[in-house]
Amino acid sequence: MDTVSSAAVVVAYVAVLTFVAVRARAARDFTEFSLARRALPLALVFGSLAATYVGPGFSIGFVGRGFKSGFLFLAVGLAYSIQNILVGLLVAPRLRGLKDCHTLGDAIGQKYDRKCQILAGIISVSVCTFFAAVMAHAGKVVLKDILGLPGWSSVIIVVGVTALYTTLGGLRASVITDAFQFTTFAILLPVTLLLVLMFHLKGGAAAFMKEASTITAAGYAQASPMEIFGLLAAFLLGETLIPPYANRALASRTTQISRNGFILAGVFSIFWFTVMIALGVAARNIVPQATDEDHVLLNLVKVTMPTAGYALLLVVSVSVVMSSLDSLLNAGAVAFTQDIVKPVRQSYGGLQDRTALNIGRCATIVIAGIAAAGTPVVPSIIDGLLICYTIWASAILPALIIGLWIKNPRPLAGILSMGVGTLVAMIAVVLLLLFPSAIETSVIIVPALAAALLAYALGHWIAKVKSGA
């Protein structure tokens, strides 16, 4: 398929997506922009959650890892599936049950104090921005392969279009377009696997099983026990209630919908990870062994798909990027407005709803711009996600999860846990970037999370001693 035809397919898809976003209606107030008026039905909660996490990391990235290490990464992915189900059973209903809560920062502010909320907001915005940079990097990979465009222009196209409809429509536009994109790629990529297995794999199912066994064994042999433990910890904890997921829990119509949406998304992810890893394994006999992991899926599609199918897969590749990116931009903008600006402005008469809406829209554009500018520092899709996981799990999760479950959480424990977790995680990330050959990306979460938990325990003990309780 030539570049002109490919471009026409992508442009047509973007036009349809924009029409869907416009039909979703521009947000008229901050509650609609941030939580879609807390009226999301189960279908939209499930579809949006699935579209958000089945993004570049769990499609392009997982195919690449399947290509490199076989079904080793399926075991890692199952840790993520279990996390989603546990969140649905234990955490999402508690979060949805909080009153006047727009963000995780709101939840932390209610459980601790305003200082903790502001720090949680700063962490949330920062993590959303770097997550968005990883998604923008993936968009660059996709459009560069499809259209042969320079990297910077590919980033501008993906980030610009996504920021446009997210800025106007807020969460409602994000979840509706996500559901639209989800139905597209949840069908087409499994169909791709079937076509590859039926018509392009030499030796059939027997050859596939032999290759899968060989490369998986090699993957386990090359990975140290600490690396595997770090990967399991990262995928079990690293995306637990990141701001886009928390927004879906808070925006659901009822606590039951919040719970069921996460459980269904977790179950679906098991099927999805299996398909993506299988695509990577099948690609080993079709694309060159030296192929970079972020390019395996696109190269496989080029070789195996007929012209019409390839055109459709181009659409899928673009959609998986945008479905994750729009959620991150909206969540980061809402966290900035609700957790940083509003608490600061409370001492000066509060923040009017219209002003909050305008701040949220401006923040969407700013976060998109910073994410686009940050794409050159992203090492790869999976490694970029692992860095985000380390910061988020260490900085937020101990304070959030413990605060939701214990009766009297102490503000000192929350502030110490978030501060120490963030500091140790950032030191680990800097060391990783300075000495990439000496440190495994997957293991840096272990010391950072341990430091955050110890800091929480210390803060809780000090506060308890001071209060005499």
Res. 261 pLDDT band, cuts 50 70 90: very high
315's enclosing H/E stretch is helix 307-335
What pLDDT digit, counting tens, does each position of 164-198 carry?
878 877 777 677 777 776 777 677 767 766 676 66
Cβ atoms of 331 and 127 within 8 Å: the answer is no
200-228 per-position pLDDT tens digit: 667 677 778 888 899 999 888 888 888 88
Residue among 457, 442, 376, 418 nearest 65 (CA):
442
Domain boundaries, the chain: 3-378
Helix ranges (H only) for 376-467 are 381-395, 397-405, 411-434, 445-467
CA distances from 346 to 331, 338, 380, 384, 414 (A): 21, 11, 41, 36, 21
* Alpha-carbon 427 to chain mean position: 22
| Residue 184, φ and ψ in degrees, nearest 5 | -75, -60
pLDDT digits (tens, 9 = 90+) for 307-333: 656 666 666 677 777 778 888 898 999
Q: What average pLDDT does range 136-164 have in this prediction?
A: 81
Q: Model confidence over 399-411: pLDDT tens digits? A: 998 988 888 899 9
Beta bridge partners of 40: 252
Q: Taking residues 122-132, report their average pLDDT.
A: 94
Alpha helices (H) in 148-254, listed in sequence order:
151-195, 204-222, 225-237, 243-251
Phi, psi of 40 (to 5 degrees): -75, 130
**Distance (Å, rounded) from C-alpha 88 to C-alpha 302?**
38
Backbone angles phi, psi at 406, to 5 degrees: -90, 160
Q: What is the 3-state secondary structure (H, E, C) of 254-278?
A: CHHHHHHHHHHHHHHHHHHHHHHHH
Q: For 233-247, write each residue's pLDDT tens digit.
A: 888 887 788 888 888
| Mean of the per-residue pLDDT values of the chain | 83
CATH for 3-378 is 1.20.1730.10
Q: What is the pLDDT of residue 24?
A: 55
How much is the pLDDT for 33?
Answer: 79
AA identity, residue 245? Y
Return the higher-pLDDT residue of 338 and 27.
338
- pLDDT value at residue 143: 76
pLDDT at 290: 85
DSSP state of 287: S
**Range 77-96 average pLDDT:** 88
Distance CA 153, CA 141 (A): 11
252 phi/psi in degrees, rounded to 5: -65, 155
For the record, the structure tokens of 225 come out as 């026990």
